[in-house]
Amino acid sequence: MAEKKSKTIGILTSGGDAPGMNAAIRAVVRKSILDGMKVYGIQRGYTGLLNEELFEMDKHSVSDIIQRGGTILGTARCEEMRTEEGQKKAVDICNKFGIDTLVVIGGDGSYRGALALSRLGINAIGIPGTIDLDIACTDYTIGFDTAINTAMQAIDKVRDTSSSHERCSIIEVMGRNAGYIALWCGIANGAEDILLPEKYDYDEQKIVDNIINNRKHGKKHHIIINAEGIGHSTSMARRIEAATGIETRATILGYMQRGGSPTCKDRFYGSIMGAYAADIASAGKRDRVIAFRGGEVTDIDIEEALAMQKSIPEYQWEVSQALSR
């Protein structure tokens, strides 16, 4: 590993925002300055980098943000960064501002841009920020805890009205490619059925039989947690109502899951991972992704991190199935 200590950091947030990103930004900025480095905030992710939307940050730039949801830097999904031309332009802009290390807070997609820049000579450090928990190299991603608590509380509310009206409810939670939010809420909300993109072999007739059987035994509600990756909640509700004769409603929780004041856990993990990113940059480590593994903060080569695969833990899935019956 080349040990060239970083002098100037650029920091951006990219992809879907996540509560706790502000805590991570604050930690990167404050720890980098303490470690003797200069920091540029980059607005609107890679799009802002390519438009030179940069400003120098000091420790006051990150005052009063730890409790705020979203990201003070703004975020975007940037097509231009997928092109070689865009990547070269990004490197030229980093060089123009003297940025030797780029800290990227986001998910796998955002790390791919960072990896491209690292191959062109910019030190790239990723911090896992996504509500989806779908980054393979780490046990935790910033934003997940806030999102599942927001979803859990919303699902409890839907359950109240579902019981009063003796209805079946399909509640769709976020996770285009990953079912972690659905799995966690499915268990925490005591859902009768949980549908995940990773386990896309569910049988709708079995759900119908389950609803009818539960009703015979006096259950007043039936909660189905459906991950966004499976989707089609509204048409599913229509089919289930027709097959069971029980009123069925679909609720899509949507973007409310990405907002809100971060939980203590997201502020804590954001702060630790952000400070750690600044420390390894200052120590001259190159091209890493920060991770929490076995309760400890650590760092992994960015290329290796991107090659890792993640799947739903089998035992957790089994428990979710066993407890829902």
Which residue's Cβ has the minimum distance to ligand F6P? Answer: 16
Of the pair 16, 69, the CB lying nearest ligand F6P is at 16
Question: Longest C-alpha distance within the chain, in Å?
Answer: 71
Min separation Cβ 132 and ligand F6P, Å? 5
CB 147, CB 18: distance < 8 Å:
yes
Q: Which of 96, 151, 130, 178 is nearest to 18 (CA)?
A: 130
Min separation Cβ 229 and ligand F6P, Å? 8
Of the pair 16, 86, the CB lying nearest ligand F6P is at 16
The question of whether 132 is a catalytic residue gets the answer yes
Min separation Cβ 130 and ligand F6P, Å? 5
CB 128, CB 289: distance < 8 Å:
yes
Contacts of 305 (CB under 8 A, 6+ apart): 111, 126, 135, 136, 137, 289, 291
Residues in the site for ligand F6P, rule: CB under 6 A? 16, 130-132, 174-176, 228, 258
Of the pair 86, 128, the CB lying nearest ligand F6P is at 128
Q: Which of 32, 102, 37, 105 is nearest to 71 (CA)?
A: 105
Of the pair 10, 106, the CB lying nearest ligand F6P is at 106
Min separation Cβ 216 and ligand F6P, Å? 36
Residues 149 and 21: their CA atoms lie apart, in Å, by 17
The token duo for 132 is: 């989806």
Q: Annotated catalytic sites, by residue?
A: 132
